[in-house]
Every structure is written in C-alpha cells, then in structure tokens.
C-alpha cells in the first residue's frame, strides 16, 4: 500500500538522475553532446542544460546579477515618421 501512496502523490515527468558533474567530466574527455546524451539515456538538450548549470556561476555570484546577452534579435522594426 505504501508504494501505491508514493506513486499516487507523484505527478509529472520523472526527474533526471544524471548530475551535471558527470556530464562535465564526459564533455572534458571529448565526448560529443549526442554521445553523452545517448550514454546517459537523456536528451541532447538536457545534457547541454546540465553542463551549463554545472559550469555557469549562479546569478548571485555574478557581479552584474545577470548573464550578458550576445547577438540576438534587435526587436521589432521601428516605425518611421512620415510627416
């Protein structure tokens, strides 16, 4: 009955059981994203996210409080005044 109660309260997708340190170690050994993801049975984007979270400092440790943006979309075009 306890197993039923535990599963009954759990909802959503199961959490990833791979740590970011494992992904970082494999990446430093020269593994490709696809191979790392295949070996750990996770998605490629999940492997990249775990790597990023394990290597990028927390926003509280960043003196600016945010990550720098590089490139990206400049936004919608501005309307010209036709007077």
pTM above 0.95, yes or no: no
pLDDT in tens, the chain (83 residues): 555 656 666 678 778 889 999 999 999 999 999 999 999 999 999 999 999 999 887 656 555 555 554 455 555 666 777 76
Residue 43 lies in a domain: yes
The helix (run of H) or strand (run of E) holding residue 39 is helix 33-40
How far does Cα 40 stand from its chain's mean position?
Answer: 15
SS3 category, 6: helix
Total domain count, the chain: 1
- pLDDT at 23 (0 to 100): 94
Residue 54 lies in a domain: yes
Q: Which two tokens stand for residue 48?
A: 């990249």
Domain range for 27 is 16-58
Residue 4 lies in a domain: no
Residue 65 lies in a domain: no
Other CB atoms within a 10 A radius of the CB of residue 23 amount to 27
Residue 36 lies in a domain: yes
Residue 23 lies in a domain: yes
Residue 50 lies in a domain: yes
Residue 21 lies in a domain: yes
């Amino acid at each position: 009955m306890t197993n039923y109660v535990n599963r009954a309260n759990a909802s959503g997708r199961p959490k990833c059981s791979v740590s970011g340190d494992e992904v970082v170690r494999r990446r430093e050994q020269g593994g490709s994203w696809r191979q790392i993801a295949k070996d750990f049975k996770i998605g490629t984007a999940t492997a990249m996210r775990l790597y990023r979270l394990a290597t990028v400092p927390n926003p509280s440790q960043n003196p600016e409080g945010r990550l720098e943006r590089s490139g990206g979309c400049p936004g919608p075009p501005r309307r010209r005044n036709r007077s």
